Structures are given as C-alpha cells and as structure tokens.
Amino acid sequence: MSVLFLSGWSGWGCTDNTQAFTYGFQLLSTLLLCLSNLMFLPPVLIALRGHYLLEASVYIFTMFFSTFYHACDQPGIVVFCIMEYDVLQFCDFLGSLMSVWVTVISMARLQPIIKQVLYLLGAMLLSMALQLDRHGLWNLLGPSLFAVGIMAVAWTFRTIRRRHCYPPTWKRWLFYLCPGTLIASSAVALYAFVETEENYFYIHSIWHMLIAGSVGFLLPPRAKPDGRVAPLARRKGCGYQLCVNEQEELGLVDPGSVSINSICTS
C-alpha cells in the first residue's frame, strides 16, 4: 500500500492513478541519480595522479554511497537497498560534505599535520551536525564557508610573505580556479534555490555532476619538492632510517641541530 502511495497513487484505496509514476519514469529517475555519480571518477583519477590519496578515498566513498543511497531512495518498485536506508542516507550526506571539505582544505596547502587535524576534526563535526539535522542548508554552507575562510587566510599569508599573488600563475586562475568556483557556485545555487520534490531527480543529478566537475578543477596540482634542500643533501639521506639518538626521539633536542649521521644509520 505504501509503495503504491509513494509512486503517485492516491485515494482511500490507492486506486487514483492520475499522478502515478510510470515504470519508465521510475527507472529513468533512478538511473539518472545513480549514474550521475560516475562523474566522480575523473576527480578520483586526478587526485591519485597528484598523490592526494586521502582525498581520492573520500571521493570514492561519496560515489559509492551516493549511488546506492539513491537506488534505495526511490518511490515505487525500482528500488535496490544494500543496507539499511538510514545508514545509506547518513553516509551519502557525510561523503558529500567531506568531499567539499577535503577539497577546499587541500587547496589551502597547509602543513601535513595541520591538514590531518582539520580533516579529522571536520569529519567529527560534520557527523555531529548530520545527526542534528541532515537536511539543513547550513550543513553544506557552514563547513564550506569555514573551509574557504581557512583557505583565504593561508593564501593571504603566502601572498604577504612572498609579496606576490598566490596562486602565482594566471593560468591557474583562468583555467582552473575561476571555472571551478563558477561550477561549484552554480551547484550550490541549484541545491539551495531550485531543487524541489517535483524536479528532484534531474536537478539533483545535475548537482552530482557539477560538484564532481568542480572538484576536478579546484583540486590543486601535486606539490613540488622543497627547493631549499640541496639535491646532494637529499641523496645523502638514509634510504631506511633508524633513529639511534634517544634524546632526539623523545623530542628533547631540536632535530634540525643534529647531524644526519647521529640520528640514523643505513
């Protein structure tokens, strides 16, 4: 009875089919919502090529759970659930928010330890926010604006320190950052102001494609090695390092003041 009602049948006996969804419409909406997630494959490949392994794993997580959540979320008879609906919904929402979070934080080019702390902190806070309200608009806008603020501070600091606009190349701005920002802004506008229950299946499919497409533009290129370290010094380093200085291992002395021969052996 509930399946008939959800698929558009109405009336006391679920006999009114004036607004019922046909099987073809149900199949089309399910395929659009599921297959549109394949747009995350290019960002995954871009992330792997740039050695952004954590970011790539988040995109794969999002693609997987968004696909099967929408396969389970459909009204009518075209439904396929691999686990409980509530679990699929939570993982889909968390993956979507984490994809935005890790992309913007990676654009800030922070120190690895700071980036890892922000990634973990973001995952915990987003999980809490989703438990409070999964459909709140600020669950998307709040983390996005906060991450953009962190990125803006990092970019401003680099601009002041280098006395040159960061990112430094106009090609990066023209061919990557500006198109990526425009695509992401369009996706958020569709999600916030255009999407309704009537147009959900195709507007939300477009949202999937736009968000995935923006990630492909915004994810920064692979970081170059630090040019301040001389190539000869890097070649003198240990291939497999074993610390033998107990004071350095315990953090009692500054590692930079200890020679490489005193802290490791080949």
Q: What is the pTM of this model?
A: 0.77
Q: Report whether pLDDT(231) > 80.
A: no
Nearest residue to 76 via CA among 10, 4, 24:
4
Note the pLDDT of residue 197. Answer: 83
Q: Report whether pLDDT(159) > 80.
A: yes
Residue ranges per domain, the chain? Answer: 2-218, 231-263
Q: Report whether pLDDT(9) > 70.
A: no
**CA pair distance 71, 59, nearest whole angstrom:** 18
Note the pLDDT of residue 191. Answer: 87
Sign of CA dihedral 219, 63, 39, 74: negative
Per-residue pLDDT averaged across 14-41, rounded?
A: 80
Q: Decide which of 188 and 68 is more confident.
A: 68
Q: Report whether pLDDT(164) > 60.
A: yes
Q: Report whether pLDDT(251) > 50.
A: no
Q: Give 18's pLDDT tier (boundaries 50, 70, 90).
A: low
Per-residue pLDDT averaged across 194-220, rounded?
A: 92
**CA pair distance 217, 233, nearest whole angstrom:** 35
**CA pair distance 110, 104, nearest whole angstrom:** 11
Q: Decide which of 60 and 188 is more confident.
A: 60
Nearest residue to 99 via CA among 66, 59, 65, 68:
59
Note the pLDDT of residue 237. Answer: 44
Nearest residue to 177 via CA among 214, 137, 141:
214
* 69-87 pLDDT, tens digit each: 999 988 777 889 999 999 9
16 DSSP β-pair partners: 10
* 97-144 pLDDT, tens digit each: 999 999 999 999 999 999 999 999 999 999 999 998 888 888 878 888
Classified as helix, coil or strand, 247 is helix
Nearest residue to 30 via CA among 80, 87, 65:
80
User: CB within 8 A of 188, min separation 6: which ones?
Assistant: 140, 141, 144
If one counts every other C-beta atom within 10 angstroms of the C-beta of residue 139, the result is 19
The CATH architecture of the domain made up of 2-218 is Up-down Bundle (1.20)
Q: What percent of the chain has pLDDT over 70?
A: 76
Mean pLDDT of the chain: 81
Note the pLDDT of residue 205. Answer: 95
If one counts every other C-beta atom within 10 angstroms of the C-beta of residue 78, the result is 18
DSSP single-letter state for residue 167: S
